[in-house]
Structure 1
Amino acid sequence: MTQGTAHDTASGDRLQPGSRLPLGGLVLAYGISQLGTAMSGLAIPWLVLVTTGSAALTGLAGFAEMAPYVAFQAVSGPVADRAGLRRSCVTGNAAAAVLVGAIPGLYALGALSFGPLVALVAVAGAARGVADAATSPLVPRTAAFGGVSNERAAGMNSVAQRTGMLAGLPLAGVLIAAAGPAVVVLVDAATFAIAAFGILILIPSAAVRVSADPQPDSAGPPAARGYWPQLRAGMAFIRADRLIAGIALMVALTNLLDQSLSSVLVPVWVRVRLHQPVGLGLIGGALSIGLVAGALAATWLGRRLPRRVTCAVGFLLGGSPLFIALAVWSALPPVLIVAVLSGIAAGVLNPIIGAVTYERVPPRLQASVLGAFRSSAWIGIPFGSLLGGALTEGIGLRNALLATGAAMFAATLVPFVFPAWRGLDRPAGNYSGAAERPS
């Protein structure tokens, strides 16, 4: 048992194993925070775009938020484990609520210039990184406490994320048009506060001490002690497991391109071709409808899905088609149809990837490995905003969409080519051997 887990068990919880309340509470809190995040993900770029008129500054603002988020998620796993997963998750969300809430406060006072905005989103991104480094290992632990399979738990978590986006993106478009982007950012701050309170109340500390590892700790190498040894152990596990490393690299490439689309290319497309911010919400909402449908299908079908084939097709059809649709069409209806279909294909991915990582990573390493894995997969996101802004200003919107769409198509061919991805369909082996016998 890690020190962080022991710390989390200080209180005398009476909730009995088998209760699904902790997993449900975690999923609910995550969904609420994603609702606000989806809204501010549109509101902040739109706020920068309409106040500066610069696609490059819009991309810079996205970079300033996501770079600290990815960095702190990578290095906060051992800290979250030592301080307590539940406590770290609550503290990170609460800090993000305060920092994000300062943005509309300064805006109302007429004191929000680009510099303070960038500083606030950067520190808030760091706080969110700490919270999410703790959230990832809480999913399999609360699932084990409730007797829920990894596929089902990962699917529920993905559905919560997708549902938050489904509600948040169109709502953001409407509220931006009706009340302005600052109000939308204020709502985001409120959702972080609600998530922090929900985790504190609905997830008793007893739930986080459950180990999903069917083998005793002595079956593998002992958990590293101390910050740097734990961090090195997590990174070493990822490097040794070729499937986990391949998934992280693949998702890093696709996330980089997706971020350039969502944070810069779509807002510029909407502003130039539609001239109405409601289009932001409609496109995001259509994509989210598909993502929720795909995630629900993956959650329901669970282990019956052929993992490798499903992931390969999901990446391919969920990637480049939307880029090409935006490059080809100026009308909204065909773009919305493509967004829904692409979302369905992409929605099946997270439940499968989540289940695979929960199975292959031993609980004693989950805080370090899952945080490092998630940040490795997200490492391209900050640069995606910069890429989208630079390409749009350098070669124009249509050419930027075609270039990023072609790159996405090439990246999504990886699961069809590299043999390490065959490990998706292999039965989960023993946890202790995953790093020593990589796929």
Structure 2
Amino acid sequence: MIRSEPRRRTPLLLVEAATLLSGIGNGVATVALPWLVLERTGSATAAGLVAAATALPLLLSSLVSGTVVDLLGRRRTALVSDALSAVSVAAIPALDALVGLNLGWIVALAALGAVFDPAGLTARETLLPAAAQAARWRIERANGIHEAVWGLAFLIGPGVGGVLIAAIGPGPTLWVTAAGFALAVALVAAVRLPGAGRPERPPAGLWAGTAEGLRFVWRDRLLRTIALITMVLVALYLPVEGVLLPAWFVDQGEPARLGAILMAMSAGAVVGALASGTAGRRIRRRTLMVISLVVTGVALVGLATLPPYPAMLGFAAVIGLAYGPVNPLANYAMQTRTPERLRGRVVGVMTSFTYAAGPAGYLAAGPLVEWLGLRPAFLLLAGALLVAALVAAPLPVLRTLDEPPRHPPAPVGGTSGRVEGPLPLGEQWAPSAHRDPPGQG
């Protein structure tokens, strides 16, 4: 008798809870690190230097992170990455208490902590299709939830960071980041999913596997275009959160307001990501992408005028709401155009494109502020982002977002001969549970 696999929501809940906790830790650090630097040095250029120091390792480590996932396994990579991230972040307040920190120490430790983040992010994201399959969710719904959880983390984290900075100072606040990573490790350790353990077809090696992922992304016109668009937009936007807004609110002595602005962006992003699954059924995905990009650019220009604080909160919420569907759409493109065995590498390569131009943006933002002043520098970056969005909007290749998946759902029963229920759109075959026993990987 052919039997149906029961619906299992626990793996998806564990993956998303780990994503939430890890993201909260990063959200706290987003506020605490630049505040610590500005408090110690009073220099926007120094804050930009620290931000760039964290972005540079992100580029290299994110490029190879997907290959590491495909070599070591998804669950194991997530465990090791988050554990090392916890240790490296905890070292900042620990060393400050023992020997005191100067700018060099902060730069070095922030860079070390950034090395481990992409592998954990990539590993959790590559677990998502199998977790959605176990829960019998459409992949579009799972993508929206996943990005909403990430946005929720940055809704909670910066607010907690701002409150903690005001109460105990930026150094001790970083202990919260370490705690978030430690709890994420415990949750991922409990995940049991097909394909989460040791890969059956690992790449030939670190660099060969990374090169294979790069070639795949570059030869796929849609993935290449999304990667380049995201690279430009993130490069222009990251200095807003990492340098410009902190500099503005440090001058005003208002850490809680900085946290509230970042929370408003994240709240909008949560709503936008959750709505993306429903919106994708009502309008074309290409149309949704274009609206998201253009409205994000317009709202950022509004924020760059540095209007009264209530208006800043409104513009921040619109920025998050408009940009919310972009990452779920990018995830959908990766999942439906990438074979199972390459998923980790493709996610890693696409993530590395996101980080690639970040250091240049960070390094340019500090001198721009000191040369032009805060408001003109902010307007220049926001205007450039709007121009980039307007250039990307009419690109014909974005129409392929609405084409049928190149890698459609696995047949009912997969390779196991069992009826496993309807599979989420875009999920390909993953190894059967008996090939990935509990405890492996």
Is the shorter-chain TM-score for this pair beyond 0.5, marking a shared fold?
Answer: yes
Equivalent residues of 1:250, 1:414 under 8 A apart = no
- 1:112 pairs, out of 93, 101, 112, with 101
Q: CA deviation at 1:80?
A: 2.1
1:97/1:326 CA distance change after superposition, 3 Å: same
Secondary structure of the residue aligned to 1:413 is helix
Q: Does 1:345 align with 2:322?
A: yes
Aligned counterpart, 1:59:
48
Give the Cα–Cα distance (whole angstroms) in 2 for the partners of residues 224 and 112 of structure 1: 41
The one-letter amino acid of 1:245's match is R
Q: CA deviation at 1:110?
A: 4.6
1:428/1:206 CA distance change after superposition, 3 Å: closer
What are the superposed Cα offsets for residues 320-368 of structure 1, whole Å, 9 maximum, x if unpaired?
A: 4234333252x21111111112211111222222112111111111111
- 1:233 pairs, out of 212, 221, 237, with 212
Aligned counterpart, 2:196:
208
Secondary structure of the residue aligned to 2:406 is coil
- 1:395 pairs, out of 372, 384, 387, with 372
User: TM-score, normalization: structure 1?
Assistant: 0.87
1:354-433 map, 5 Å: 354-430=331-407
Give the Cα–Cα distance (whole angstroms) in 1 for the partners of residues 206 and 168 of structure 2: 45
Q: Does 1:307 align with 2:307?
A: no
Q: CA deviation at 1:175?
A: 1.4
Q: CA deviation at 1:130?
A: 2.4
Q: CA RMSD in A?
A: 2.2
Secondary structure of the residue aligned to 2:393 is helix
1:289-300 map, 5 Å: 289-300=267-278
Q: CA deviation at 1:431?
A: 6.6
1:223/1:97 CA distance change after superposition, 3 Å: closer
Q: CA deviation at 1:302?
A: 4.6
Equivalent residues of 1:26, 1:139 under 8 A apart = yes
The one-letter amino acid of 1:351's match is P
What are the superposed Cα offsets for residues 218-239 of structure 1, whole Å, 9 maximum, x if unpaired?
A: xxxx985333332221111111
Give the Cα–Cα distance (whole angstroms) in 2 for the partners of residues 95 and 392 of structure 1: 34
- 1:137 pairs, out of 126, 130, 145, with 126
Aligned counterpart, 1:322:
300
Give the Cα–Cα distance (whole angstroms) in 1 for the partners of residues 99 and 293 of structure 2: 44
| Structure whose residues are more often helix by fraction | 1
Q: CA deviation at 1:399?
A: 1.1
Secondary structure of the residue aligned to 1:417 is coil
Aligned counterpart, 2:415:
none
Q: Does 1:333 align with 2:310?
A: yes
Q: CA deviation at 1:96?
A: 0.5
Aligned counterpart, 1:7:
none
Aligned counterpart, 2:416:
none
Instruction: Count residues with an aligned counterpart.
Output: 406
Aligned counterpart, 1:195:
184
User: TM-score, normalization: structure 2?
Assistant: 0.87
Secondary structure of the residue aligned to 1:112 is coil
Secondary structure of the residue aligned to 1:136 is helix
Aligned counterpart, 1:264:
243
- 2:66 pairs, out of 53, 68, 77, with 77
Q: CA deviation at 1:72?
A: 0.6
Equivalent residues of 2:58, 2:114 under 8 A apart = yes
Give the Cα–Cα distance (whole angstroms) in 2 for the partners of residues 387 and 86 of structure 1: 37
Equivalent residues of 1:104, 1:185 under 8 A apart = yes
Q: CA deviation at 1:145?
A: 3.2
Give the Cα–Cα distance (whole angstroms) in 2 for the partners of residues 210 and 297 of structure 1: 35
Secondary structure of the residue aligned to 2:196 is helix
The one-letter amino acid of 2:10's match is L
- 2:137 pairs, out of 148, 154, 157, with 148
What are the superposed Cα offsets for residues 30-56 of structure 1, whole Å, 9 maximum, x if unpaired?
A: 011111111111110010011101111
Equivalent residues of 2:70, 2:202 under 8 A apart = no
What are the superposed Cα offsets for residues 275-308 of structure 1, whole Å, 9 maximum, x if unpaired?
A: 3111111111111111111112113445334211
Equivalent residues of 1:155, 1:295 under 8 A apart = yes
Q: CA deviation at 1:143?
A: 2.0
Q: CA deviation at 1:210?
A: 12
The one-letter amino acid of 2:217's match is I
Equivalent residues of 2:272, 2:320 under 8 A apart = yes
Q: Does 1:25 align with 2:14?
A: yes
Give the Cα–Cα distance (whole angstroms) in 2 for the partners of residues 208 and 111 of structure 1: 41
| Mean CA deviation greater in 72-81 or 255-264 | 72-81
Aligned counterpart, 1:4:
none
Aligned counterpart, 1:5:
none
Aligned counterpart, 1:278:
256
Give the Cα–Cα distance (whole angstroms) in 1 for the partners of residues 38 and 236 of structure 2: 20
The one-letter amino acid of 2:287's match is V
Task: Point out where structure 1 has 5 or more consecutive residues left out of the alignment.
Answer: 1-15, 212-216, 435-439
The one-letter amino acid of 1:130's match is A
Give the Cα–Cα distance (whole angstroms) in 2 for the partners of residues 249 and 396 of structure 1: 29
Q: Does 1:166 align with 2:144?
A: no
| Mean CA deviation greater in 97-106 or 340-349 | 340-349
Equivalent residues of 1:145, 1:210 under 8 A apart = no
Task: Point out where structure 2 has 5 or more consecutive residues left out of the alignment.
Answer: 410-425, 427-441
- 1:99 pairs, out of 61, 64, 88, with 88
What are the superposed Cα offsets for residues 395-425 of structure 1, whole Å, 9 maximum, x if unpaired?
A: 1111101110110111111332211111112
What are the superposed Cα offsets for residues 230-287 of structure 1, whole Å, 9 maximum, x if unpaired?
A: 2221111111111101101101111011111000010111123x33111111111111
Aligned counterpart, 2:31:
42
Give the Cα–Cα distance (whole angstroms) in 1 for the partners of residues 120 and 324 of structure 2: 23
Equivalent residues of 1:20, 1:145 under 8 A apart = yes
Aligned counterpart, 1:13:
none
1:296/1:304 CA distance change after superposition, 3 Å: same
- 2:114 pairs, out of 89, 105, 125, with 125
Aligned counterpart, 1:253:
232
